[in-house]
């Protein structure tokens, strides 16, 4: 975790009293394709949270933070097997803009 947060990642949490309802790990970065963007690395919402809609609230938080920071987009990646997450992202207004490719560098 030290390497993740030492390289610019940040975390925000959603609490209801002492209950951790959700968290998001994100970073603000700039690349040649889109310019400045906010990138969500992880978003976790407790389905048993006393507050409903935590995932939506956290997405709204990222969108507002991105706008305040001058970002042009909010982006994320999601594993191909995560159908429930994909439904959530589509409901939140996300569209598929690219395919992600991966190759292991370990022997």
- Mean pLDDT in each 10-residue stretch from start to end of the chain (107 residues)? 76 93 96 94 90 92 97 95 94 94 91
Domain containing 61 equals: 2-91
Determine, yes or no, domain membership for 102: no
Determine, yes or no, domain membership for 15: yes
Determine, yes or no, domain membership for 106: no
Q: What are phi and psi of 54, to 5 degrees?
A: -60, -40
Number of domains in the chain: 1
Give me the CATH number covering residue 76: 3.40.630.30
Determine, yes or no, domain membership for 107: no
Residue 37: the pLDDT is 97
Residue 1: the pLDDT is 67
Residue 77: the pLDDT is 94
Determine, yes or no, domain membership for 104: no
């Amino acid at each position: 975790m030290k390497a993740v947060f030492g390289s610019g990642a940040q975390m925000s949490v959603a609490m209801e009293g002492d209950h951790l309802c959700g968290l998001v790990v994100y970073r603000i970065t700039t690349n040649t394709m889109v310019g400045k963007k906010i990138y969500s690395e992880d978003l976790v919402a407790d389905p048993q949270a006393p507050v409903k809609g935590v995932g939506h609230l956290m997405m709204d938080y990222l969108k507002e933070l991105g706008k305040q920071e001058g970002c042009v987009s909010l982006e994320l990646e999601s594993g191909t097997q995560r159908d429930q997450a994909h439904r959530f992202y589509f409901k939140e207004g996300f569209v598929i803009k690219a395919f992600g490719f991966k190759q292991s560098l370990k022997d």
